[in-house]
């Protein structure tokens, strides 16, 4: 039986915009380059648990609302 591949869904951009933060501002707050935020929002980068938790904390959102599998 073929195993179904799960996709990591990312809602960082949606919550970043609600907080009126630019990609650059969020990147500085979580100590990464802006490109990391860009790739994350485009679904081209899977963050470490530490980074995911840092982003959730900065955006004041539970991590489960930012990152989830489908």
Give the H or E element holding residue 64.
helix 63-66
Structure-token match 């591949």, residue found: 5
- So what's the pLDDT on residue 69? 81
Per-residue model confidence (pLDDT) at position 2:
56
Q: Where are the domains of the chain?
A: 8-61
Question: 10 Å Cβ neighbour count for 52?
Answer: 19
How many Å apart are CA 58 and CA 4, to the nearest integer? 33
Confidence of residue 68 (pLDDT cuts 50, 70, 90): confident
CATH fourth-level superfamily of 8-61: lambda repressor-like DNA-binding domains (1.10.260.40)
* Of 66, 59, 51, 57, residue with least CA distance to 18: 59
Position 10 scores a pLDDT of 86
State pLDDT tens for residues 21-66. 999 999 999 999 999 999 999 989 999 999 999 999 999 999 999 8
């Amino acid at each position: 039986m073929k195993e179904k591949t799960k996709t990591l869904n990312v809602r960082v951009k949606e919550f970043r915009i609600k907080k009126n933060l630019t990609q650059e501002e969020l990147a500085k707050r979580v100590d990464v380059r802006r490109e990391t935020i860009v790739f994350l929002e485009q679904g081209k980068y899977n963050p470490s648990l530490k980074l995911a938790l840092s982003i959730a904390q900065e955006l004041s959102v539970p991590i489960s609302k930012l990152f989830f599998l489908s």
